[in-house]
Amino acid sequence: MKVVFVNTDIGHDTSLDYITLYKTYDVKDVDTFFSLELGHNVTLYSIKMDNKRTGNRNARLFITLEEFRNKQIEKILL
């Protein structure tokens, strides 16, 4: 699955190192777990970051490539 980093405000700190705004990333793996600290499920995408290493980032920071394209088309049409 391809996703685009859009830096959505997720309400808590997360590492944004080695990822670029509006860049497309391939999701290699998806992991979901319950966070006691946050009180809800957290989904992490395993992606190949800009430094060529694989890292986990919160899925809420991304949208699918299709969603991103649709939003861009909507901006043009408005």
User: What tens digit of pLDDT does each residue of 10-61 get?
Assistant: 766 677 889 999 999 999 999 999 999 889 999 999 999 999 999 999 999 9
Local structure of residue 18 (DSSP, 8 states): T
Quote the tokens at residue 41: 């499920």
**What pTM did the predictor assign?**
0.85
The amino acid that residue 16 corresponds to is L
Identify the pLDDT of residue 45.
Answer: 96
Helix H or strand E encompassing 61: none
Higher-pLDDT residue of 78, 76: 76
pLDDT score, position 11: 66
At 25, the amino acid letter reads: Y
Hey, where are the domains in the chain? 2-77
Burial of 52 (0-12, 13-18, 19+ CB in 10 A): exposed
